[in-house]
Amino acid sequence: MSRKLLHLLLAATAVAAAAMPGFALERSQVPGGFKWDLTPLYPSETAWQNAKAALAKRIPDAARFQGHLGDSPDALVRALDAIMDLDRDLNRLTTYASMLTDEDTRISRHLAMRESAQQLGVQFRSTIAYLRPEILALGDDKVRGFVASEARLRKYGQFLDNILRYAPHTLSEKEEKVAAQAGAMTDAGETVRDVFTNAELPYPEVTLSSGKKVRIDQAGYTQYRALPNRQDRLKVFHAFWTKHREFQGTLGAALNDQTRAHVFDRDVHKFDSCVKAALFRDNIPVRVYTQLLSDVNANLPTLHRYLRLRKRMMGVDTLRYEDLYAPIVKNVDLKYTPDEAMKLTLAAVQPLGDEYVSTLRKAFTGGWMDWMPTTGKAGGAYSTGVYGIHPYQLMNFTGLYEEVSTLAHESGHSLHTYLADSHQPYVTHDYSIFVAEVASTLNENLLIHHTLDITKDRPTRLFLLGSYLDNLRGTLFRQVLFAEFELRMHELAEKGETLTGENLSKLYLDLVRKYYGHAKGVCKVDDLYGVEWAYVDHFFYDFYVYQYATSIIASTAIANGIRQEAALPGHPTARRDAYLAMLASGSSKYPIDLLKGAGVDMTTSAPFRAAMKEMNAVMDEMEKLLAVKQ
């Protein structure tokens, strides 16, 4: 059988597997070229067990450095080298076990391996708990003096600086121990919420216009909220959110407890606000957060323009909140084989240079990727990596355009990891979420523009342009709505107010109606949907969601610059090279400084204005296409 025919067969089988409950490939049925190869990590599970036993014996030895970090520059570098070696080997151990588990979650042996690796991680972190307090106790002058006098410490400069800047927010050793013990209770709200929504909330059932009865749990809501029949969507929305409102008191109490934990951390560690405490981890100025909210609020007319365009394309008299996930272009059925997805993605990222493309081609065919959905396999998609080996990608590819976009997205993460690992020592090879999602969304941007360049069919172009706008609505405007809600609820908690389900729903409803132009007749938002906050687990993550918006803003600006540069005579590469240098920098600089090096200053509104310019240009193109008589 030819490789092309095999790809077609596998893609068709995978589509059927996704569409038919209880039907899926077994992992043994997937050819080796479509499965990742974990032998570079460990040649066998026995080798992993031997490595785990050896690592368990080495971890206690890390305690011998306690009390001696300040003896000399040599003592400090030897301690850090030993600790980083342990951390690297532990990451390798944990990643292998986690990936084995994700191959088939039914295999309890692999789950036990993952849990034992995680337990070893707890032991390791407990053993080196002295590290940060002892470095802080040495003081800024002594630590920086050590770095200046010992060349082997230079690679640890950023790592040490990141510890030293916490000095004003660090307590005595005994006080930090008490705070840590109290911190063990900080996840109680999230735990209650997760158990309740995943296991105990009595999700409703509805009967669709087809006569099919479906359960509207979280997965069901995500699936059925996009049904083309509007009455079906109304049923789905009403049933799902009515059940959440029924339990908004319980869910509000859980979120209140989680927010109180954030207020506790703010007070104990002497921060001005919860948002400052959260952003301090990556050294992000609070003005980046507040400016993002200000920029989005000032540009809500752009969102409203998109919503009016959606209303026009859907042919409805009144756009409703229930219409936002429905397809705006019908009868466009884009399907791709793995070969086609790879070819399209490689062509799309060509502006990033031959080395980037050749490395990604190797990733596609060299055992870095796990392509097909199989029985028991973990859902979704991700990229992970082990320093000194290469990145890995998990996919569940069934041939949809959205999954080609996911391939480009995760490949952005993988090449980020590859470049950072190739150019950085272990201590600075990793990178923050603030820049991580830039690499992934930039690839999505290149993909959509390339696909549009080679697509002339009017309905398909409208579909692609509409998908791009939907992504901007969801990743930029919706996430900033979440970010504003998160900020406002923390401000209420900081004033001593108790967050209840009722007042959280009122706060959220006011914001969602403002964003979606309810009072202006842009999009009707029923009172019931004020409880949507109860569905968003990211509100328990402590000021996380704003990074989705900042990332797509930054990546849009960078991608525009790279594409414009590539179109110039002589094909200059300064912007591309600056971007690739950012990816190769890992965490050797703080995120804001890394992005500045790539030509994007997130402390200004310029990148946001570039994103809005592109969004309006997309709508201009769609309106031109709609004006063409068929």
Looking at the annotation, which residues are catalytic?
410
- Mapped onto helix, strand or coil, the DSSP state of residue 384 is strand
> 524 - beta bridge partners?
320
Full DSSP string of 57-84: HHGGGGGGGTT-TTS-HHHHHHHHHHHH
Which residues are paired to 382 by β-bridges?
A: 394
**What separation in angstroms does the CA of 213 have from each of 21, 236, 302?**
15, 11, 39
Sign of the alpha-carbon dihedral angle for 468, 469, 474, 480 = positive
How many of the other CB atoms lie within 10 Å of CB of 148?
12
Ramachandran sector of residue 380 (left: φ over 0; alpha: ψ -120 to 50; beta: rest): left
SS3 392: strand
Contact 434, 264 (CB under 8 A): no
Residue with tokens 């409805």: 316
Cα distance between residue 314 and residue 318, in whole Å: 10
Q: Are strands 391-394 and 369-370 parallel, antiparallel or unpaired?
A: parallel
Are the beta carbons of 111 and 100 closer than 8 angstroms?
Answer: no
Per the structure block, which two tokens stand in for 188?
């109680």
| Whole-number Å distance between alpha carbons of 18 and 15 | 5
- CA 362, 358, 440: angle at the middle one, nearest 5? 85
Q: How far apart are CA 367 and CA 378, in angstroms?
A: 18
Distance of CA 123 to the CA centre of its chain: 28
